[in-house]
Amino acid sequence: MASSVALILAALLAAGALVAPSAVARAAAMLGALVVAPVLLVVHVYDTSAFAALRDRPAVGVAAAVAGVVLIGALAVLFDRRPAWFPVAAVAMLPFRIPIAIGGSTSNLLLPLYVVIGAGALAYAVPRLRAARRDRAAAGGLAAVLAPSTGGPAVEHPAGWLERLLALAVVLYAVQSTYSPDADHALENVVFFYVPFAILFALLGRVRWTPALVTRCLTVLAALALAFAGVGFVEYATKHVLLNPRVITSNQLESYFRVNSLFFDPNIYGRFLAITMLCLAGVVLWTRNQRSAVSATLVLAVLWAGLVLTFSQSSFVALLVGLAVLGGMRWSVRGAVSAAAALAAVAVAVAVLAPGAIHLDVGSSQSADSATSGRYDLIKGGADLFTSAPVLGQGSGAFAREYRRTQKSSDQGAASASHTIPVTVAAEQGLPGLLVYLALLAAALARLFRGASSSVPRAVIAAAFLALVAHTFMYAAFLEDPLAWTLLGVGVALARDIPRPAEPGAQERSTARRAAAA
């Protein structure tokens, strides 16, 4: 009972960082979440074997905690003095996951990103709390990059529907963990994902994204993607995958060889590559600098080869969705829709006329499950879970356990998620969660796409987010993925800080018209 109350408190504090009306209130909520969530986690794992080394040697645990606090404090000072370094550091740490044994299982945690988030929160919160105590309106340091584009002191922009729905989603998930048969899994999701990523969104949403900062972050993202692709090429050449025993076993049984680079999952690796490729595609489509266009094209070619080796169909679809959106905003929405409809028609024709090509036997559920890599049975089982408890759902984080119980399945890895986020939400959280999820999607798309054609970075962020949403329909991890919160945070900041710039391509067309007139 106490852990449930603490979990809800952590969720409420994270929600406060999103929607509190003043800078001081948001700062206090951030710091409160940063204290409550780690304490809750320590209490949660204290009696497990994974924590035995620190529990039996408290001096080592204290030393580790002190070292972590010192590191976060030093980074906070750095971000306060060099505020533009925070978003760069956050983008740089997005993909790095470290396997840690928690609660009897091994989780791949974004520890470097957590350190950056903690430091960024301190750099944001401490000056504001100090200023409030001294009754001063302005805070220094990081306020320079978090201030509105007018150049005035940092103020809190009122929360919109997107922020309110994100806050509601976090709190609702925590509340619905109270009756979940797998409350431990729900607790870990809140502590590891929902709370820190909500703070990340709140911080990135206050950054002033100058063209130089956007370029710097894109350069870091491209460099990381190239490095990961290089590791993937080595894995393919040596036929040796570095991580994930399930992928290693699958490669021994299948006729093809999948790589996952330094990611635990080939599909998450593919998602990262697809999002990076969409950002670079935006450069190719809109840049007037030939050198930039050529460089981006060369990087795209390398990353495409890396994506092919993942054999991640969901990542290919996500990339196509994002490219269609970019094409529509760059040239013609009607043309992009027509091209997408044509591709869909081809896919349907292949399924109807040549089902054997995709291992599909029309009318056979076993064939459908094989053709969708096991997703058909997972989706069907998730639908059964929803219909059995449509009002409240099975409880947050309960999908895997309840699926195995109701379907009499012993394959724990295959049932770790439905691989279709709407199905997971419906099964776990029932109608309340599903309605919040749908409203959140609508608010996010409305915020990102409204006026997106007025700015190249906004167009790219909108396309990348929709691609990520498409990926979640075929795989998993929506609010559990820092990429989703990052794209939303950057998109919100860009929508706020760019008043009315010229439409992408407008300057080129204007120049051409003047040249023709001359």
Give the separation between CA 458 and CA 462, rounded to whole angstroms. Answer: 6
Q: How many domains does the chain have?
A: 2
- Residues 390-432 have pLDDT tens digits of 999 999 999 988 888 887 665 554 455 667 899 999 999 999 9
Compute and round to an integer the Cα radius of gyration of the chain: 23
Contact status, residue 261 vs residue 235, Cβ threshold 8 Å: yes
Residues of the chain with pLDDT under 50: 136-139, 143-155, 357-371, 413-414, 499-504, 506-518
pLDDT number for residue 403: 87
Note whether 241 and 195 are same-domain residues. Answer: no
For 107, which DSSP code? E
pLDDT at 479 (0 to 100): 92
Q: Is 199 in the same domain as 240?
A: no
210 inside domain: no
Q: Among residues 481, 405, 497, which one has the least CA distance to residue 194?
A: 481
Domain with 191, as residue range(s), is: 2-204
Q: Are 110 and 93 in contact (CB under 8 A)?
A: yes
User: Which residue, among 268, 248, 267, has the nearest Cα to 257 in the 3D structure?
Assistant: 248
168 and 270 inside one domain: no
Report the SS3 class of residue 332: coil
Q: Name the phi and psi angles at 106, rounded to 5.
A: -100, 125
- Closest Cα partner for 6 from 187, 172, 176? 187
Instruction: Give the CA angle between residues 257, 261, 264 to the nearest 5°.
Output: 95
Q: Does residue 207 contact residue 86 with C-beta atoms inside 8 Å?
A: yes
Q: For residue 339, tell me if it sits in a domain.
A: yes
User: Is the separation of the CB atoms in 397 and 174 below 8 Å?
Assistant: no
Q: Are residues 189 and 270 in the same domain?
A: no
> Do 226 and 180 belong together in one domain?
no
- For residues 251 and 139, membership in a common domain is answered with no
Residues 253 and 109 placed together within one structural domain of the fold: no
Q: What is the distance in angstroms between the CA of the first residue and the CA of the last residue of the chain?
A: 77
Domain boundary among 178, 204, 230: 204
The Cα 265–Cα 97 span in angstroms is 11
Residue 506 CA: distances (Å) to CA of 330, 454, 512: 10, 9, 10
Residues 172, 238 within the same domain = no
**In-domain check, residue 231:** yes
Structural domain includes residue 513:
no
pLDDT in the model for residue 439: 97
Under DSSP, the state recorded for 259 is: -
pLDDT digits (tens, 9 = 90+) for 253-279: 777 889 989 888 899 999 999 999 999
318 contacts 274 by C-beta, under 8 angstroms: yes
Q: Report the C-alpha gap between 336 and 232 in whole angstroms.
A: 32
- The set of residues, in sequence order, having a beta carbon less than 8 Å from that of 257 and lying 6+ positions away, is 236, 239, 251, 309
Amino acid identity at 76: A
Residue 214 within any structural domain of the chain: no
Do 379 and 463 lie in one domain? The reply is yes
Is residue 200 located within the same domain as residue 231? no
Estimate the crossing angle of helix 266-286 against helix 313-330, to 10 degrees.
20
Same-domain status, 16 and 144: yes
In the structure encoding, which two tokens stand for residue 334, read together? 């009607």
Residue 491 lies in a domain: yes
Q: Which two tokens stand for residue 22?
A: 């003043």
392: DSSP letter: T
Residue 435: count of CB within 10 angstroms of its CB: 13
